[in-house]
Amino acid sequence: MNKKRTIIGGIVVVIALAAGYGWYQFNRTVQGLANVRADFSVNATDLIKEFVSSEDAANKKYMNKILAVKGMVRNVEAAQSTVVLGDTSDMSGVRCVIDSTANSTIGSLQKGAVITIKGAITGFNKDETGLLGSDVQLNRCVIAN
C-alpha cells in the first residue's frame, strides 16, 4: 500500500510541475526591443539589394537577428501598425510591423522622413514577376530615433 501511495504521489508532483511550467511558458512575454542592442546596422536600400542579389546568403547573415535599419519612410499604414522604408523610385521596401508597445509613435511619422527602425528580421518576400517589388520583413519594431 505504501509503494502505491508513493508512486501516485510522485505522479501528482510531476503533473503539478509540468502544469506550472506550462502556465509559466503560456504567460511569458516577449522582450521589447527598445533597450536591446542591434546585431547589425544597415541602410534600407542596401538591405533590399543584399536580399535580392543573394537571398540564401542574406538569410544566413540576418535571419532571426535584431537589425537597426535606416531609411526613408515610403508609406505609413497606421491601421496595420506598419511602416515601409525604401526608395520611392523602387517598388521593393523594408516592411516594419511596429510593436504594440510602441505603436503610438506611428502617427507622427511623415512620408519622406529619414528614420532608423530597430526590429527582428523574419523573412523576405521575393517578387518573382518583377511587377510588385520585394519586401524584407521586420517584426516587433521600435523607432530608434
- The answer to whether residues 123 and 137 touch, using CB atoms and an 8 Å cutoff, is yes
Res. 42: pLDDT tops 80: yes
Where along the chain do its domains lie?
1-30, 40-143
Give the pLDDT mean for 53-70: 92
The pLDDT value recorded for residue 138 is 93
Instruction: Express each pLDDT in 112-125 by its tens digit.
Output: 999 999 999 998 98
pTM of the model: 0.76
Q: Could you give the CA distance from residue 130 to residue 126 in angstroms, rounded to a whole number?
A: 9
The pLDDT value recorded for residue 40 is 93
Res. 43: pLDDT tops 90: yes
For residue 48, the surrounding DSSP H or E stretch is helix 44-53
- The answer to whether residues 94 and 46 touch, using CB atoms and an 8 Å cutoff, is no
Res. 20: pLDDT tops 90: yes
The pLDDT value recorded for residue 35 is 81
The rounded percent of the chain whose pLDDT value lies above 70 is 98
Query: Longest Cα pair distance anywhere in the chain, in angstroms?
Result: 80
Cell numbers representing residue 108 in the block? 507622427
Pick the CATH number of 40-143 from 2.60.120.200, 3.90.1150.10, 2.40.50.140, 3.40.980.10: 2.40.50.140
